[in-house]
């Protein structure tokens, strides 16, 4: 376990070199200094989140078996899921571009890291969820019964994606950024900030 976590930490530090290289590429500089492109990408990101989450709400709530139950699961998915996937695609691409515009700050932002972690968990949940749903939706419709594990998976999905959106919103706040010191050591470890602690000697509460 200890070896795994120190290996992960080394990987995160190594990736910082890549992120620094990324930030020096011409297009990255162009994006972060742009007058129009950055705000357009940012707005598109937010709008595609609305499309993605707004339609996911229908799919997930239907799977709880309590809402929109006059519509079959198969039909709901056929009508709504393509929009969800389209929203996800636009959201993913604009998200990558937003990261690419400001790589170092995003990479070392604590909320960004929390968001990535939540997205991985939400992604695993979605994979499990989607596979089972496409195989069994017709059976559930016929029996008008949805397994309990599917219901909890649907609720997990809603909770996780809500947290992803909240964490994403919080990236804007630079409370724990590397240039805001002093921070507790554990925060600087989580954000992999290199800090000269000798500067803070003698400060109360540190």
Instruction: Return the closest-CA partner of residue 63 out of 124, 130, 118, 160.
Output: 130
Beta carbons of 41 and 16 less than 8 angstroms apart: no
We find the least distance from the C-beta atom of residue 66 to other proteins, in angstroms, to be: 5
Query: Could you tell me how many residues make up the chain?
Result: 206
Quick note: the x/- pattern for other proteins over 76-115, rule CB under 8 A, is -------------------------xx-------------
Cα–Cα distance for residue pair 73/83, rounded to 1 Å = 16
In whole angstroms, the minimum distance from the beta carbon of 185 to other proteins comes to: 15
- Check if the beta carbon of residue 45 is closer than 8 Å to that of residue 51: no
Q: Are 62 and 71 in contact (CB under 8 A)?
A: yes
Q: Which is nearer to other proteins, 3 or 202 (CB)?
A: 202
Q: What are phi and psi of 132, to 5 degrees?
A: -70, -35
Q: Which part of the chain contacts other proteins (CB under 8 A), choosing from 1-9, 59-67, 78-86, 184-192?
A: 59-67
Site string for other proteins, 11-50 (x = CB under 8 A): --------------------xxxxxx-xx--x--------
Q: Which residues are at the interface with other proteins (CB under 8 A)?
A: 31-36, 38-39, 42, 57, 61, 66-67, 101-102, 162, 166, 169, 172-175, 179-182, 196, 199-200, 203
């Amino acid at each position: 376990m200890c070896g795994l976590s120190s290996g992960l930490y080394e990987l995160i530090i190594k990736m910082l070199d890549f992120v620094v290289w990324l930030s020096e590429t011409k297009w990255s500089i162009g994006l972060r200094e742009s007058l129009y492109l950055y705000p357009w990408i940012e707005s598109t990101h937010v709008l595609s989140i609305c499309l993605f989450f707004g339609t996911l709400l229908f799919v997930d709530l239907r799977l709880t078996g309590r809402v929109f139950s006059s519509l079959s699961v198969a039909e709901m998915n056929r009508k709504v899921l393509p929009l969800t996937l389209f929203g996800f695609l636009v959201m993913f691409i604009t998200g990558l571009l937003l990261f690419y515009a400001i790589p170092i700050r995003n990479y070392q932002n604590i909320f960004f890291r929390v968001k990535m972690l939540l997205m991985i968990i939400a992604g695993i949940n979605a994979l499990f969820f989607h596979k089972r749903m496409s195989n069994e939706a017709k059976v559930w419709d016929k029996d008008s019964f949805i397994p309990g594990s599917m219901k909890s998976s649907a609720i997990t999905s809603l909770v996780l994606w809500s947290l992803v959106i909240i964490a994403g919103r919080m990236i804007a706040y630079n409370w724990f950024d590397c240039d805001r010191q002093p921070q507790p050591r554990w925060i600087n470890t989580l954000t992999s900030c290199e800090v000269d602690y000798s500067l803070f000697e003698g400060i109360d509460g540190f």
